[in-house]
Chains A and B, each alone.
Chain A
Amino acid sequence: MKGGFRQSMAWLHAWVGILPGWLLFAVFLTGTIAFFRTEVTFWMQPELHASQPGPETAAMAMERLRTLAPNAESWVVGLPEERSPTLSLSWREPGAPPGRRGLTGTVLDAGSGVELHPRDTAGGNFLYRFHYELYALPRDWGRAIVGIATMAMFVAILSGVITHRRIFKDFFTFRPAKGGQRSWLDGHNAAAVLGLPFHLMITYSGLVLFISTLMPWALDDGGRHGRGGAPPDAETTVEKQLTPADLPEFAPIGPVLAQAEALWGIPAGRIMVEDPAGAAVITLAPRRNTRLSAHSGSGSIGVERLHFDGRSGRLIGRDDNIEESAVQATNNVLGSLHRARFADTTMRWLFFLAGVAGTAMVGTGLILWTVKRAKQQARPDGTIPRHIEVMERLNIAAITGLTIAVGAYFVANRLLPVDMADRAGWEIRVFFAVWAAFILHPFLRPLRVGWVEQLTIAAGLFAAIPLLNMAVTGSHLFVTLPAGSWIVAGFDLICLLTALGLGATALKVAGRWPVAAVRPSGRGARVRRRAVGRVE
């Protein structure tokens, strides 16, 4: 380490950034996609795409549960919403175990009520879980590894801010035409500085979410984090078999939902009915949180509850679940921000775009590390030391290799046989097999060729996704755009944009970037020469 505070920080920034950097790139990329995890899962089940909610959806759900589960202890209706327009019904048969395991359920077309049979998929959930606990590792190990990398990320952000000498002067500076280290540094600075509020928030809140993994001894239950749950309630016995006709009439659900929407300002996302044959208490939950300090839990539904008498439709209770303790509220705010639990569609896009900037920050940082050292340590004959070559090959494997694996994961979702056994498992196997192949690939190719080939393959894969949709599903852009099915259309459009970006980068790296070939002439060129002359 050389003298001087800023030099020390630059040294720290470089090393704390590069060592966990490849993992951090994967965490940022998959985590960014995970902001849309419900939407991604919906896209991955084309059998659901025709579902369009209508005004009678909720009433139909109640009627259907009466037929399907007259004996159930409770019913749960997942109403269609902007993130997934299907209707899900589930119920708990008498004596079923507590928690999710005890629920029986089905998914319906929210308009027609036809039962749907979506394909088995690992969905957005796989990418979501991968971003914080990796895969096939014991849960606490995966979390501890990502947690340590997160801490490194936090140190890298803080030391990066100190290292950046011209943080305000270069605030808007991006000179992609300059090439080499300067352009990468500009890109890295731009993505880092403009997205700084997001990067700090997401990293710090990520650390706080890992608190029970990283500091298990700080908790009252000695690190068991309350896992295991209560033993099943053994006293439930089945008394008699009811038929749908035995159930008394319910109050119309429409006015009940309207009351809730008037009170909350947003529609209900879930209807829960306790003891439908007896007391029939209807409980509603909003489709998302409307307060930052509300518990962010493990489900996208909001924490507020309204209770209604199921027979009369009268409001009998309200529970806002306001956090009493400031510490808990602070914890909730950080968790809510990280998981974007309160986000409507606009906010979700803002989080996604900031996440893209974060991914770009980590990616450009990795590239900058090798570009800078390759320049400094180049031998007179133009070759670079072997260890820097290895680092750069690992960059290819981590950046474009993972991008290809994600593309292949989506392609596999469309191409694997629909009725295949362990289909979701095979999607994940394709993801890792493809990634492994493209981790190996750069070691067999010259550096630049490795980059260009991987960028081209990635661009091709992402361009193929919307086309594949046209070949093997009925929900492609020519259908989804006119129908206004923005979840599916948005996914396809983002794939096309990604393909364009990757393709343009491939051309640029291959040295055939059209814009750079324009000869400087006229007034613009003077401006440009002056601009060039001014910089170091």
Chain B
Amino acid sequence: MIALALAVSYIGMLVLCLAMDRHGRDVLGRVPGRGGRLAARLLGSALLAGALVLCFDRWGHAIGTTAWLGLVTVAGLVLILLLPFSVRAAGTGARMACLLAPLPVGAMAMGVFAG
């Protein structure tokens, strides 16, 4: 459950970040269009909201909110430390960054099976 909440927070932050000019260009190789940007922002926000619900479920409202802020912070820190590599690694760099997504999906599966 915690791994799932962390994975959802991470994907949420990643999607929000890809809606921005600089990171869209660095990771996907193109600046997102207006529609894509809006869609990414909505999806990213929805995922973060989903993570909040998971935290409520696990910890209740008061401690759940605290845990959610912590998870989103840690997810953001992990993302920000990984992003430079997508710029640095030549050629396959952009695609390598997109490979980041399956990592949390693995964690998500682990979260589901571990209950």
Contacts and interface: CB of A to CB of B under 8 A. Distances in A.
B1 to A, nearest CB: 10
Interface in B67-90: 67, 69-71, 73-74, 76-77, 79-81, 83-84, 87-90
B115 to A, nearest CB: 14
B70 A531 contact: no
B47 interface: no
A527 B29 CA distance: 8
B35 interface: no
A346 B90 contact: no
B25 A524 contact: no
Interface residues of A, number: 41
B87 A527 contact: yes
A172 B94 CA distance: 16
Given A337-B66, A347-B66, A531 B77 contact: no
- Secondary structure type dominating chain B contacts: helix
Interface in B15-30: 17, 20, 22-23, 25-26, 29
B73 A357 contact: yes
A528 B67 contact: no
Interface stretch (A8-16, A173-181, A382-390, A427-435): A173-181
B62 A350 contact: no
Q: Could you say which interface size class chain B belongs to?
A: 20 to 34
B87 A528 contact: yes
A525 B77 contact: no
B52 to A, nearest CB: 13
Contacts of B63: 290, 292, 342, 347
Interface string A501-536: 000000000000001001011111101101100100
A177 B94 contact: no
A148 B13 CA distance: 36
A346 B4 CA distance: 13
B62 A172 contact: no
A333 B26 CA distance: 42
B11 interface: no
Contact of B80 (A177, A190, A515): A190
B54 interface: no
A169 interface: yes
A167 interface: no
Given A174-B84, A292-B62, A527 B17 contact: no
29 contacts: A171-B17, A172-B17, A172-B80, A172-B83, A174-B80, A177-B88, A194-B76, A195-B73, A195-B77, A197-B69, A292-B63, A346-B67, A347-B67, A347-B70, A350-B67, A353-B77, A354-B70, A354-B73, A354-B74, A515-B88, A521-B90, A523-B90, A523-B94, A524-B88, A524-B93, A524-B94, A527-B26, A531-B22, A531-B25
Going nearest first, the 5 A-B pairs with the smallest beta carbon separation are A350-B70, A524-B90, A194-B76, A292-B62, A197-B69
